[in-house]
Structure 1
Amino acid sequence: MYAHSTRSHIPQPPHSAGTPYKGLRAAIDPNQIPSPIDTIEADKEKWEGQAYMTLPGKHPPLSTTDFVAIDQGNTSPRYIRMSTWNLPSSSRLASDCEIPLAAVIQPFADQDPREEPVPLVETGDIGPARCERCRGYINPWCTWGANGTRWRCNLCGHESEVAPEYFCNLDANMLRLDHLQRPELNKGTVDFAVPQEYWTPHPPPTIRPLYYSMLPEPSTSRRSPTHMDYVFAFDVSQEAVRSGFLQTACTVLIELLYGRDDTIPPCFPPSSRVAILTFDRALQFYDLSSAIDGQSPMLVVPDVDEVFLPSIEGLFVNPVESRDAIYNLLSALPSRHEQIFEIESALGSALSASLAALAGRGGQVVAFAATLPMIGVGALQPLQDESTLYGTEKERTLFEPRDESWKDLGEQCASEGIGVNLFLGMSRPIDIASIGLVATLSGGDMYFHPRFDAGRDGLVLSSQFRRLVSRATVYSCSMRVRTSVGLRVGSQYGNFYESPASDMEFGTMDADKTICVKLEHTSRLDDRQYAFLQSAILYTTVTGERRVRVHNLALRVVSLAGNVFQYADMDAAVSYIIREAISKLHSTRITQIQESLTERCALILYAYRKFCAAAAAPTQLILPEAFRSLPLYILAMMKTKPLKGRNVTADVRNYYAHKISAMSVRSIIHHLYPRMLAVHDLDDKIALPDGNGRIDLPSLMRDSHLFMESHGVYLIDNEDSMMLWVGSSVSPQVLKDLLDVDDVFNVDPRMLYLPHLQTQLSTQVRNILAHRFSQRGHTPRFTVTRQNMDGSEIEFSDMLVEDQNNAAMSYLDYLCLVHKQIHSALTTGASIANNSGFRSMPW
């Protein structure tokens, strides 16, 4: 499209320092080292025109591919991805292969519009059929006997009686005659509507109650499911008002509830009610049901150490019925607090009050905080210089709560079925290690806007808030993963509270949340039989219906290492490895975590050389097909904000640790290796609708300055932020078509979004951005940076993960380092895991 006669590659842009490679560097052409882009593009092309059939025995599409799955009794890889789709038959084989056995589960993942929705099975008063021994749910892999009066569980092998109401005769193939009419017998993923015995039990009294309740004790042991209610809590301290954080939050909530003109539709669940709470040195509640002259009476609780609800009457209202009261209150809050110079705020007390308001029925809390909570429940003091703690035994204290009240608050919210979401817009450290624990344990989200600027951050906050409210969300959730005989669930990673019974408890669960479980062998598996995995999550819908969503997975069992590697899934393995690494921040120094990551990478590749490619010369770098890009992703993990060395504040590390721990597999892959494309070099037909309305997306490029040119314009996107890099020698015509300026000096680096121009290039790029928005449902922060002109270029260059930056090596050097270790182990027989020379290498 915009041809250029000469190729002028750019020098490495300014970046945070990287680690140089010491020793002899192999003469490897950067163009020849494995690239994830080739694999991603080939997979997209493969699944573009065909559907994925879910029966075992095939390679599923990569997580980065938009595919259509047809459920044949095995759940879609959209919901469960395995680190290998061929399970090793023994713990010895699993140990030899070094591939972690893990399942990454996203129970409410957004489906492709072309797929049939998850079927809902009405079970009446008897509830879903379950195994009498292991309590597994009926599924397509169970077998029938005794002419239909008994069924055998595929998980534990126990035979259970069929309830009379559920009985049906069998045909000649030993299948029920109503097999095709029963989704639970032919679909891998189903929802069961469940009776009263599945209702949420009231949690037992706590030893350390965080609020005083004036409500009577419940008369029943279980609570009746009801629609999901929301509490919106606003920080009205001086910092929140001064920065415009309060004004932005109130404006966005009004738009979510009621829309704006004809351009922004409302998206709030029609059956849900809302309560509004404000806090500074005191808590302010509002009776929204009895507004006088459009003003809602305010009820003040001055004692933030002993929290109680002044009244439950009028606290929750339907936003449509009480529109005037809510609109007037939200419109007046910013101006009402402009002249009140309270510098302190009691966030912990506000969350305790929200817990008290929703206790007994569950719901969702959305809190906006701009100030470190130095008074009330969980009061914290500013942290002293944290930089002196890195590399010492006290480093782990940066990732632990400094007051146990925050942990108690998170656990009590999870037990009550309440999810807490935090929007943070502070100018000083706010101790996310402490306050963020409430969101982590309750299954909520955090949204991080340091040095909040309404003009810069308002658009992103609005997009995040809209996604939070509009995505598929359920509450009062309890989840368990069951396996067939010979396997068990070991560690569990994600944002949840693990109950004493090892169930995962979530206050809320949504379409974006993912959990990860590690599988372990308890006995040898039969390679003539399938192994099975069943995930069941019990939940309440937004509209107040109690259900169980069940995912079933059958997996082939193999006895050869080559077959394990052949069907390995790097996306799922990477997702597990980074979660495991982040979980060690509480107990292990960052440098040691980085060393163990490199060790794991070398061990996996060494295992493949040893058991699958032993005949190759030790000097050859042999990579398994499934793990061709593993060294690059392991290196990228060490360049992420939670795990990288130097110059990252504890708040930033803890925020990204929370975020990555619940990310989907696709988001993790895109976050570790950002998507970059050359905007100036788009084909004339790319990203424009064809005759059928389909849009072909452009190919991506590698994340390195070695492949960039000074006359180019590049877009990079790591799911959290999106940057447009403009080269110093860019063509004036490209600038005119994309940004409506004709000189690089006239480009506005404070631009928040691309201008809407009628040019072909502008249309193409906006179509690409619209496709990405439809994939993730929200807009990341957008920044324009110019070569050698803007400070934000440092952030851009740090996203080029193949370069030497982020206190780590370049991809080429790191590959040499890993290969050197594998070569040493092959030629000397030394153990990689115990090789002290390996651990002393500089990263």
Structure 2
Amino acid sequence: MGPLSPTSPIQQPPHSAGLSYKGLRAAIDPQSIPSPIDAIEIDREQWDDQPFGTLPGGHVPLSTTDYVAIDQGNSSPRFVRMSTWNMPSTSRLASDCEVPLVAIIQPLSDQDPREEPIPLVDTGDIGPARCARCRAYINPWCKWVAGGMRWRCNLCSHETEVAPEYFSNLDANMTRLDHLQRPELNKGTVDFAVPKDYWAPQPQPRIEALYQPVVPTSTSEMRPPEPMRYVFAFDVSQEAMQSDFTRTACLQVLDLLYGYEAQDGTHVDPCFPPQSQVCIMSYDRSIHFYDLLPRGADNPAMLVLPDLDDIFVPMCDGLFVDVRGSQQIITNLLTTLGDGSNRFLETEAALGSALAACLAALAGKGGQVLVFPGVIPTIGLGALTTPEDMSVLIGTEKEKSIFTLQHEAWQELGEQCAEEGIGVNMFFANGRPVDLASISVVSSISGGQLYFHPRFNPVRDGMVLHSELRRLLLRTTGYSCLMKVRCSQGLRITQHYGNFYEPPTSDLTFGTLDADKAISVVLEHTKSLSEGEFAFLQSAVLYTTVSGERRVRVCNLGVQVAGMAGNVFRFADMDAVVCHMVREGIHKMRSQKIAKIQEQLTDKCAAILLAYRKYCATSAPASQLIIPEAFRALPLYTLAIMKSRPLKAQNVVIDVRVYHAHKIMAMGARTTMQHLHPRLMALHDLTMRAAMPDPQTGLIRLPGLMRDSYIFMESYGIYLIDNEELMVLWIGSDASPQLLKDLFEVDDFLHVDSNITQLPVLSTRLSEQLRNIIAHRYAQRGWTPKLSIARQNMDGAELEFADMLVEDKNNAAMSYLDYLCLVHKQINAALTGGSSTNNHRTSFKSAPW
């Protein structure tokens, strides 16, 4: 394959197949087309030295910017991000603008360390004040009437009596005298401590034969909140043991339970919640339970459950124990569990039955399951057959069958876990396909998470696994969660996207919900809104904390209502729109072909840009491409969605496709944007102060980013790219020996060790700068992805690197330049063809590709 342009000093790797633009197009300088980098850097400069006040009326920071939010009655964009911060006043205006009305809600999101913590409000036995009609929670947008005896709900306008214990007189401005002492009346995001009425109910298992819980459950009982319990379940089959996965996982769990010595000699404290209890299981063709109470023996007694069709818990005492009280026996168990040299190893493992056992152990309690499967479950509950390579079906009529569950038991397991308040996290280390399309449903429905380490190598993947486990235990997490999103009169919620269970008669249900999970909701008009007033949104999550407190996290948002298309576009939020587009596309994978979804994505992108032309830039000639400021990079992000692992047309291993679909459906706005358009940074020309601590503040200032294309790279350069899943350090074949010496302590390109998984600690400035960059990103997300070294034209990791350069022609799709020409051609055809906003999509679909 030849170079991308006459000025490109680097050729793409031969594997980077893509589509070419068909037809004539004007010569366009790649340097002049819109790029998200400019907006990202400008936004970072703007909010670098000033806080963001959350009052409505201004532009909010981009999701990729580090900013300090001051809660002024509206939730921070970290918790709720709207697709436009000026709500269209009518459904006609919303339809004309084509901007989807969407909110991305991440209720337990991490805050900036410099921000005030979320206030906790305890109103005692009376509980938080709520609207008598719509059940919304009291918030800063409510009005006080009748001298403070009643309050008017901002969502439904109903007036509710104030409980005597909550009464306060009003001042001349009709504001309560205790306003400043009541966080729920002046903060957009608060936690309410709630009384017994809000305890989780005890659900009755819908499939009684599936398992026999330890504690009989009854739907009439309420579950007292307790500290979260954890179940660790290890695959001890032959393949998991021979890959060293089980031993590595056991030892790393041990480190996190009791602390460990870091490589630099410092002691790292344990991160397991001190008040929580732990249960340890193992499984192969049978399920193994362990009595962890110290009863005088060095090793725990093991109880074996051989009947995989009749799952029950054969013990009560000793199943869950305090980590400190049973330290010696847990240490002995985890130290020896991964050593398979002393026993016969089974070749099969019953993952479904093991999950049923975890469900039985936590029934009536709730908590988290961490399971470490190494092989496909071909026996027991939900037994699966080894899948064939179905990636060849992409593009055929049988494509949709790829994502169909082989066995309904996985769906039933996920639903029961969600109802019981149990989140299932799975760490896969398979050497062969495992049919994630079926198994992943358990994690997706229960609010858990998938982790994927195919062909596990302890040296390469061990540090990443450790980082993932640490993040899972340390991040803000709630269990037995219910979520309800309410909006003001004139709007309604029509769709939810994310990883959760949506029962037909209840609110969104999560076994667990954590700081890294977000959902998106789609709104539509039921009647016209008054221009100049406010539209409101309230998200409420009822959850139990890790420490055992029942709370409600309430996020409130008020946005101005606009009557003109110009204001809708002016305050549009591309980050929220892109998050919605990728989630909607993934949601359609089981019902539509990927080629059709890609076509719809292009249609949507062109429709938004056409709407801006029609209603905000009518005087421009049809041949001129006009893009609104808020959506300058929308074509690039749309193309990036089509190049993402779930939705790209090229053959992708089905397990890989499903894994990435699961992750993206739960990602927040920031992670989604950085995953779709990876951060690329040149390291060979860093300034002396870049990524070095500020002498006064101690903070580091990261160097600027560059565009994701070989066009802008040099063969003498060294580049770091990061897509939130993988970091690749690319080394040009003409890289300076001094640069190599500063980073790797070698002066020859051929001598760089491409198998290293972390950078050597050297005393050079460049080494310190790069390690500071990686450490800063670790602090931002709480975990470290895998690091690969890619020497130009030498290492396999360059294929991954090339695929992440989304502006190039690769991933069975066009280059950004060609795709922009395609979108422009569709818009031009719609304008010159005289189509209306109601039927212009027909012209898009008939436009030549």
Interval of TM-score (by shorter of Structure 1 and Structure 2)? over 0.9
Moved more, 218-227 or 318-327: 218-227
Aligned match of 1:706:
711
**CA offset at residue 204 of structure 1?**
3.2
Alignment partner of 2:338: what SS? Answer: helix
Aligned match of 1:654:
658
Aligned match of 1:821:
826
The answer on whether the counterparts of 2:830 and 2:843 sit within 8 Å (CA) in structure 1 is no
- Pairing partner for 2:595 from 578, 591, 597: 591
Aligned match of 1:375:
379
The answer on whether the counterparts of 1:460 and 1:779 sit within 8 Å (CA) in structure 2 is yes
Quickly say closer, same or farther: Cα 1:219–1:503, change in 2 above 3 A.
closer
Quickly say closer, same or farther: Cα 1:170–1:709, change in 2 above 3 A.
same
**CA offset at residue 601 of structure 1?**
0.4
1:309 pairs with 2:305: no
Provide the C-alpha distance between the structure 2 equivalents of 1:214 and 1:245, rounded to a whole number of angstroms: 30
The answer on whether the counterparts of 1:21 and 1:842 sit within 8 Å (CA) in structure 2 is no
The answer on whether the counterparts of 1:15 and 1:795 sit within 8 Å (CA) in structure 2 is no
Alpha-carbon displacement from aligned partner over 1:776-808 (angstroms, at most 9, x marks no partner): 000001000111111221111111000000000
- Pairing partner for 1:674 from 672, 678, 695: 678
Alignment partner of 1:393: what SS? Answer: coil
Aligned match of 1:760:
765
One-letter code aligned to 1:817 = L
Provide the C-alpha distance between the structure 1 equivalents of 2:268 and 2:704, rounded to a whole number of angstroms: 33
Provide the C-alpha distance between the structure 2 equivalents of 1:215 and 1:496, rounded to a whole number of angstroms: 25
**CA offset at residue 237 of structure 1?**
0.3
Aligned match of 2:168:
168
Provide the C-alpha distance between the structure 1 equivalents of 2:401 and 2:467, rounded to a whole number of angstroms: 34
One-letter code aligned to 2:744 = L
Provide the C-alpha distance between the structure 2 equivalents of 1:220 and 1:601, rounded to a whole number of angstroms: 50
Alpha-carbon displacement from aligned partner over 1:703-728 (angstroms, at most 9, x marks no partner): 00000000000000000000000000
**CA offset at residue 94 of structure 1?**
0.4
Alignment partner of 1:644: what SS? Answer: coil
Alpha-carbon displacement from aligned partner over 1:356-396 (angstroms, at most 9, x marks no partner): 00010100000000110011111111123413432233211
Aligned match of 2:3:
none
**CA offset at residue 199 of structure 1?**
0.3
Alpha-carbon displacement from aligned partner over 1:681-720 (angstroms, at most 9, x marks no partner): 1011111122212321100000000000000000000000
The answer on whether the counterparts of 2:830 and 2:840 sit within 8 Å (CA) in structure 1 is no
The answer on whether the counterparts of 2:203 and 2:217 sit within 8 Å (CA) in structure 1 is no
Provide the C-alpha distance between the structure 2 equivalents of 1:418 and 1:522, rounded to a whole number of angstroms: 36
Alignment partner of 2:371: what SS? Answer: strand
- The 5 Å alignment of 1:246-325 reads 246-261=246-261, 262-325=266-329
1:777 pairs with 2:782: yes
**CA offset at residue 836 of structure 1?**
6.1
Alignment partner of 1:551: what SS? Answer: strand
One-letter code aligned to 1:505 = T
One-letter code aligned to 1:141 = W
1:604 pairs with 2:608: yes
Alignment partner of 1:680: what SS? Answer: coil
Alignment partner of 1:232: what SS? Answer: strand
Alignment partner of 2:11: what SS? Answer: coil
One-letter code aligned to 1:335 = D
Aligned match of 2:489:
485
The answer on whether the counterparts of 1:15 and 1:798 sit within 8 Å (CA) in structure 2 is no
Provide the C-alpha distance between the structure 2 equivalents of 1:365 and 1:828, rounded to a whole number of angstroms: 58
Aligned match of 2:94:
94
The answer on whether the counterparts of 1:14 and 1:794 sit within 8 Å (CA) in structure 2 is no
**CA offset at residue 214 of structure 1?**
5.1
Provide the C-alpha distance between the structure 2 equivalents of 1:836 and 1:84, rounded to a whole number of angstroms: 26
One-letter code aligned to 1:710 = S
The answer on whether the counterparts of 2:491 and 2:523 sit within 8 Å (CA) in structure 1 is yes
The answer on whether the counterparts of 1:569 and 1:626 sit within 8 Å (CA) in structure 2 is yes
**CA offset at residue 292 of structure 1?**
4.2
1:26 pairs with 2:30: no
Alignment partner of 2:322: what SS? Answer: coil
Alpha-carbon displacement from aligned partner over 1:337-356 (angstroms, at most 9, x marks no partner): 66423110000000000000
Moved more, 708-717 or 787-796: 787-796
Aligned match of 2:56:
56
Quickly say closer, same or farther: Cα 1:681–1:803, change in 2 above 3 A.
same
Aligned match of 2:46:
46
The answer on whether the counterparts of 2:248 and 2:338 sit within 8 Å (CA) in structure 1 is no
Provide the C-alpha distance between the structure 1 equivalents of 2:679 and 2:848, rounded to a whole number of angstroms: 28
Provide the C-alpha distance between the structure 1 equivalents of 2:508 and 2:458, rounded to a whole number of angstroms: 37
Aligned match of 2:735:
730
**CA offset at residue 842 of structure 1?**
7.5
Question: Which runs of no fewer than 5 residues in structure 2 stay unpaired?
Answer: 1-6
The answer on whether the counterparts of 1:756 and 1:762 sit within 8 Å (CA) in structure 2 is yes
One-letter code aligned to 2:709 = S
Aligned match of 2:202:
202
Q: Give TM-score scaled by structure 1 length.
A: 0.98
- The 5 Å alignment of 1:828-843 reads 828-830=833-835, 838-839=844-845
Aligned match of 1:11:
11
Provide the C-alpha distance between the structure 2 equivalents of 1:263 and 1:213, rounded to a whole number of angstroms: 40
One-letter code aligned to 1:745 = L
Aligned match of 1:3:
none
Alpha-carbon displacement from aligned partner over 1:443-466 (angstroms, at most 9, x marks no partner): 001000111111111111111111
One-letter code aligned to 2:825 = K
Alignment partner of 1:335: what SS? Answer: coil
**CA offset at residue 834 of structure 1?**
6.1
- Corresponding pairs, count: 837
Moved more, 788-797 or 39-48: 788-797
- Pairing partner for 1:743 from 723, 734, 748: 748
The answer on whether the counterparts of 2:106 and 2:519 sit within 8 Å (CA) in structure 1 is yes
The answer on whether the counterparts of 2:603 and 2:841 sit within 8 Å (CA) in structure 1 is no
Alignment partner of 1:365: what SS? Answer: strand
One-letter code aligned to 2:102 = A
The answer on whether the counterparts of 1:241 and 1:337 sit within 8 Å (CA) in structure 2 is no
Provide the C-alpha distance between the structure 2 equivalents of 1:619 and 1:208, rounded to a whole number of angstroms: 66
Provide the C-alpha distance between the structure 1 equivalents of 2:778 and 2:848, rounded to a whole number of angstroms: 40
**CA offset at residue 401 of structure 1?**
1.5
Aligned match of 2:408:
404
**CA offset at residue 293 of structure 1?**
2.8
Aligned match of 2:580:
576
Aligned match of 2:554:
550
Moved more, 616-625 or 687-696: 687-696
One-letter code aligned to 2:291 = D
Alpha-carbon displacement from aligned partner over 1:398-435 (angstroms, at most 9, x marks no partner): 11221110000000000000000000000010111111
Aligned match of 1:614:
618
Aligned match of 1:245:
245
The answer on whether the counterparts of 1:19 and 1:842 sit within 8 Å (CA) in structure 2 is no
The answer on whether the counterparts of 1:290 and 1:297 sit within 8 Å (CA) in structure 2 is no
**CA offset at residue 502 of structure 1?**
5.1
The answer on whether the counterparts of 2:285 and 2:348 sit within 8 Å (CA) in structure 1 is yes
One-letter code aligned to 1:756 = V
One-letter code aligned to 1:10 = I
Provide the C-alpha distance between the structure 2 equivalents of 1:434 and 1:634, rounded to a whole number of angstroms: 28
Q: Give TM-score scaled by structure 2 length.
A: 0.97
Provide the C-alpha distance between the structure 2 equivalents of 1:697 and 1:50, rounded to a whole number of angstroms: 17
One-letter code aligned to 1:150 = R
Alignment partner of 2:31: what SS? Answer: coil
- Pairing partner for 2:365 from 348, 361, 364: 361
Provide the C-alpha distance between the structure 2 equivalents of 1:249 and 1:595, rounded to a whole number of angstroms: 43
Provide the C-alpha distance between the structure 2 equivalents of 1:827 and 1:502, rounded to a whole number of angstroms: 49
One-letter code aligned to 2:20 = P
Alignment partner of 1:681: what SS? Answer: coil
The answer on whether the counterparts of 1:443 and 1:495 sit within 8 Å (CA) in structure 2 is yes
Provide the C-alpha distance between the structure 2 equivalents of 1:623 and 1:53, rounded to a whole number of angstroms: 28
What percentage of aligned pairs have identical amino acids? 62
Provide the C-alpha distance between the structure 2 equivalents of 1:634 and 1:244, rounded to a whole number of angstroms: 41
- The 5 Å alignment of 1:361-510 reads 361-501=365-505, 503-510=507-514
Question: Which runs of no fewer than 5 residues in structure 1 stay unpaired?
Answer: 1-6
Provide the C-alpha distance between the structure 2 equivalents of 1:397 and 1:230, rounded to a whole number of angstroms: 35
Provide the C-alpha distance between the structure 1 equivalents of 2:621 and 2:368, rounded to a whole number of angstroms: 59
Alignment partner of 1:464: what SS? Answer: helix
1:113 pairs with 2:118: no
Moved more, 497-506 or 316-325: 497-506
